[in-house]
Amino acid sequence: MTEPAPYTEANLSLIKRIIPHRYPFLLIDKVVDIVPNEGAVGIKNVTCNEPHFQGHFPDEPIMPGVTIVEAMAQTAAVVVGISTDTIDKKLGTYFMAIDKCKFRRMVVPGDVLKMHVKVLRGGGKVWKFEGRAEVDGELAATAEFMAMMDLKG
């Protein structure tokens, strides 16, 4: 019989114990449905108070595509932190590649963005993921991405 995973979801406090990102670049509010070494769902409540909306665009605020991909990557980093038991350790996370990235829908203030992240390859320093971002079940973006995870001191 397998032991249950210690964390099936991560609130903001736990997220900050796993990844180093902080305001204004912490782009996830919660991670749910965590299955170690398999995937999870990140949640981002998009508000008009976010700094990128001042310039993207003042009269029509749209969440930049790169921040959607970054939110997927932060969700993936939480999965890695829980999978490798690196909570409260300095886990450096570095993008190595972004492939097959497509944007299908604008993400705007008031949306709840859900990032469905699946581990394609992991277990060592280099992990590969598939990400799908949705708003109300409607596809907003997809990407495959690789990252190197490195413990610092």
Catalytic residues: 56
Given a contact cutoff of 8 angstroms between Cβ atoms, the answer to whether 111 and 123 are in contact is no
- Report the distance separating Cα 113 and Cα 116, nearest Å: 10
- Report the distance separating Cα 53 and Cα 60, nearest Å: 8
Chain mean position to CA 6: 20
First vs last Cα of the chain: how many Å apart? 35
Question: What is 30-71 written as a DSSP string?
Answer: EEEEEETTTEEEEEEE--TT-GGGGTS-TTS----HHHHHHH
